Amino acid sequence: MTKPTLRIGLIGTGFMGKAHALGFTSAPRIFDLAFDLELHTVADVTAEAAARAQAGFGFAHATTRWQDIIEDPGIDLVSITAPNALHKEMALAAIRAGKHVYCEKPLAPLAADAREMAGAAEAAGVKTQVGFNYLCNPMLGLAREMIAAGELGEIRGYRGLHCEDYMADATSPFTFRHDPAGGGALADIGSHALATAEFLCGPITRVMGDCLTVIASRPDGKGGSRAVEVDDLGRAFLRFANGASGSIEGNWIATGRKMQHDFEIYGTKGALAFSQEHFNVLHYFNTADPRGRQGFRRIEAGPDHAPYGLFCVAAGHQLGFNDLKAIEVAGFVQAISGRTPEPFNFRKGLRIQTLVETIQTSSHEGRWLEVT
């Protein structure tokens, strides 16, 4: 019995373009998807990059005009890994063309744009996905499942981080990530901390932000310097609809930290602790363990934590970053088939932008704000 085919167009061939391509390649080999996937066309701004990606990733066609992908009626799904500022135009075009859209995070620099995109997708009835792939980790799935099942009891406190050091060097140049419209550490990586917080604990209702520019200017690449207006680190206090409180920090000048996407969550019956620097492990404290035998358990990801078992036969082997991307692809493809809901659609991507902007505004105004 043959499956229908889903034809993929990919825009952008950098790190994330490669990660998408690998995801499209490995997902159907690891999961039993509803579709066969065909790598149809890849686009990049230079013919050389496009051709290299065509050959390297195994696409049938290459182009320097991303519009070719939009205009090709044979393409079903458009993956957007171009610079953030282009997400909106590309996604709206793809949606108008009736295609499903898989867009790297952030969905758009501004929540208003993201709202327009989410609305357009819903109106058009296409399926969408935003690339918050850390959520695809089976151990985050386990954490969410444990919380939902009440294994931690009532949630009382949350602390989330996403700290790295890739902008710690003051001599690293001004880039699109420093653009006043939508840039900054909170948007770039604090957004992951926010996504994880809501993934685990549900909606955030109020925030108090604290966003700072620490490195006031950066080289402009032309021998001069350019003032930076976006935050290098952004913190927030949080209130959740479930009654819990928490905090997050996004920080891209956290010297020495490479992937401190960490959280701790405290409940009346138990607690969880996690670090993305060792993302195949979840630490679990159970207050029901006998006295004198209590302690955080180091649970290693294994076949008990789906879909890990589709990748590796036993615990301890470990998934890697690109495996998370394959899980993300699989989830989106299954959603397109209608079997499952969209894992993280544009509406959810908008939600993250809304949280980011509310925190930024709160910081600017120095007061708590409702998240609307």
In the bound state with a copy of itself, the residue whose beta carbon lies nearer, of 127 and 178, is 178
| C-beta of 116 vs 210, nearer to a copy of itself | 210
Distance CA 22, CA 329 (A): 10
| Region of residue 75 (phi > 0: left; psi between -120 and 50: alpha; otherwise: beta) | beta
Of the residues 34, 45, 85, 315, which one makes contact with a copy of itself according to CB under 8 A: 315
Q: How far apart are CA 43 and CA 219, in angstroms?
A: 30
Q: Tell the burial category of 224 from Cβ atoms under 10 Å away from its Cβ (0-12, 13-18, 19+).
A: exposed
The yes or no reply on residue 136 touching a copy of itself (CB under 8 A) is no
What is d(CA 144, CA 114) in angstroms, rounded to the nearest whole number? 26
Q: Is 302 in the site for a copy of itself (CB under 8 A)?
A: yes
Number of residues engaging a copy of itself in binding (CB under 8 A): 91
Residue 370 as a binder of a copy of itself (CB under 8 A): the answer is no
Residue from 4, 292, 338, 372 in contact with a copy of itself (CB under 8 A): 292
CA-based max dimension of the chain = 66
CA pair distance 196, 325, nearest whole angstrom = 16
Binding string, residues 38-77; x marks residues near a copy of itself by CB under 8 A = ------------------xxx-------------------
- Whole-angstrom Cα distance, residue 38 to residue 8? 6
Q: Is 34 in the site for a copy of itself (CB under 8 A)?
A: no
Cβ contact 274:263 at 8 Å? yes
Beta-carbon contacts of residue 31 (< 8 Å; ≥ 6 apart): 307, 310, 326, 330, 333, 334
**Contact residue for a copy of itself among 68, 89, 116, 210 (CB under 8 A):** 210
Q: Contact between 274 and a copy of itself (CB under 8 A)?
A: no
For a copy of itself, give the closer residue by CB, 22 or 110.
Answer: 22
- Residue among 46 and 294 whose Cβ is closer to a copy of itself: 294
Nearer to a copy of itself, 128 or 362 (CB): 362
Q: For a copy of itself, give the closer residue by CB, 181 or 214.
A: 214
| DSSP 8-class letter at 3 | P
CB nearer to a copy of itself: give 181 or 312.
312
As measured in angstroms, the least distance from the Cβ of 126 to a copy of itself is 27
DSSP conformation letters of 102-170: EEPSSS-SSHHHHHHHHHHHHHHT--EEE--GGGG-HHHHHHHHHHHTTTT-SEEEEEEEEE--TT--T
200 sits in which H/E element: helix 191-201
Q: Which is nearer to a copy of itself, 251 or 353 (by Cβ)?
A: 251
Contact 117, 94 (CB under 8 A): no
Q: In angstroms, what is the minimal distance from the CB of 95 to a copy of itself? A: 28
d(CA 225, CA 173): 8
User: Under rule CB under 8 A, which residues in 137-196 are in contact with a copy of itself?
Assistant: 142, 152, 156-157, 159, 164-166, 168, 170
Unique residue bearing structure tokens 């520019």: 213
CB of residue 366 to a copy of itself, shortest distance in Å? 5
- Of 199, 204, 193, nearest to 245 by C-alpha is 204
Which of 9, 17, 28, 190 contacts a copy of itself by CB under 8 A?
28
* Of 65 and 175, CB closest to a copy of itself: 175
Among 64, 115, 214, 337, which residue sits at the site for a copy of itself (rule: CB under 8 A)? Answer: 214
Among 5, 46, 172, 268, binds a copy of itself (CB under 8 A): 268
Tell me how far, at minimum, the Cβ of 276 lies from a copy of itself, in Å.
7
Residues 235-264, mask of contacts with a copy of itself (x by CB under 8 A) = x-x-------x-x-x-x-xxxxxxxx---x
Which of 300, 328, 342, 357 touches a copy of itself by CB under 8 A?
Answer: 300
